[in-house]
Amino acid sequence: DPALQPARRAIDMVLKGHEPFPALAVDRHWTLVAANAAMAPLLADVGDRSLIEGPVNVLRLSLHPQGLAPHIANLFEWRSHLLERLRQQIAATGDRVLRALLEELSGYPVPEDTPKAAAKHDYAGIAMPMDLRTEAGLLSFISTTTVFGTPVDVTLSELAVESFFPANDETARLLRQMAEAGPSKSDS
């Protein structure tokens, strides 16, 4: 819609401004609307490439056994965190699409060798890190969600930007190094 082009430019500006750290914009059903260039290298090892072809549901991509799940070092706690966020969203909205998504995601198997003990992270209870194994090494992220507080258009009020921040200096260093190296062959 041409009327939404200024909003799209603003979202793209926020996403681009967050680089070299990954960020994405999603709608109320967690469908990917846009992502910055820092997301691509994190998706290189996704086993089922159909999960990253449109439309992309980022919760499905995160927890699917052929998605990012096998690469998430703290899958048990990250999965619990995402499912709880989804339950809270359903409680607030009663959205049937989200209920179906929760049922689907809850049914995904968790490998038996997945550690169930919480990792030793100290973020004073304000963040749940995601630890992702990549070719570059273990990347640890905390995330924040930004919603547009005063949109006049209901479509914009249903968009959220999920920004991933390095949870440690090594992750920040690796992300900067990956950005300087540019896109890999798997990204194109």
Q: What confidence score (pLDDT) does residue 120 get? A: 59
Q: Which residues contact 48 (CB under 8 A, 6 or more apart)?
A: 64, 66, 67
Q: What confidence score (pLDDT) does residue 118 get? A: 57
Three-state DSSP string of 19-61: CCCCEEEECCCCEEEEECHHHHHHHCCCCCHHHHCCCCEHHHH
pLDDT in tens, 35-82: 999 999 999 999 999 999 989 999 999 999 999 999 999 999 999 999
The class of domain 2-187 in CATH terms is alpha beta
Give me the amino acid identity at 160.
A
CA neighbor of 168 nearest in space, from 136, 122, 125, 118: 122
Q: What is residue 97's DSSP assignment?
A: H
- pTM for this predicted structure: 0.87
Q: Does residue 161 surpass a pLDDT of 70? A: yes
Q: What confidence score (pLDDT) does residue 92 get? A: 94
pLDDT in tens, 107-146: 999 877 776 665 555 554 567 899 999 999 999 999 999 8
